[in-house]
Amino acid sequence: MTKATSTTTAIERHPWEPFAPANAKILFLGSFPPPRIRWSMDFYYPNITNDFWKVIGLIFFGEKEHFIEKQGKRFKEKEIKEFLAEKGIALYDAATAVHRLSGNASDARLQIVEATDIAALLARMPHCHHIAVTGEKAAETVLAPHAVMSPKIGESTRIHYGERVITLWRMPSTSRAYPLAPEKKAEFYHALFHATGVL
C-alpha cells in the first residue's frame, strides 16, 4: 500500500505577512503564492505571467504595463505598495499553510492545511467591509465555515464575522491559465472597485 502524496509532501507556510493598511476598504484573497522560482518580486501576485497587476494598471492608469519594469521581467514593488496604501487595498491569501501536490501554482493541486484566520485579519482593518476572492480555491476556502454557496463570477454574497457584515465578491482568476483576456478581466474588476468605493 503506497502512502498518500499529502503525507510525503512538506508543509509550505505563507512567505509574507498580510498587506493590511488601516484604511483598507477591500481585502483581496488569492489561494496561495506560487513557488519561489516563479516570483518576479517579493510580494503578492509575483508571477510576471499573472494578470493581476496588469488588470490594476488598466483600471487605474489606462495601461496594463504600468506596474512592470521597462525590461518586462519584474514588477515595480515599491510603487505597487504605495498605490495600495493610498487606495486602501489589502492583500493576503485564503491559506497560510498548504501541501503543494505538484511543483506548479495550480490550485487543483493545492491542498489547504491551514486556512487564514480572516476574522483576526479583519480586526486590523476597521473600515474593510468587502472581500474579493480571486479564484475558485480561494472562494471555497473562505466560504467553507459559512456554509454559503459561492456566487457566480462578478457577483457577491453576504457573510458575517462577528457583528461585521462582509460582502464577498467572486472575481475571475488573474492566472494566465484562466481563459479570459486581461482587458475582459479588467471589466469585472472595474465594476468591483466602483461598487466598493475605491474608484
pLDDT at 99: 87
pTM of the model: 0.91
Distance CA 103, CA 109 (A): 9
pLDDT digits over 13-28, tens only? 999 999 999 999 999 9
Q: Is residue 63's pLDDT more than 60?
A: yes
CA distances from 144 to 33, 112, 122, 136, 138 (A): 20, 12, 17, 12, 10
For residue range 122-154, what is the model confidence (pLDDT) as tens digits? Answer: 999 999 999 999 989 999 999 999 988 999 999
- Residue 10's pLDDT is 85
Q: Which CATH class is domain 5-195?
A: alpha beta
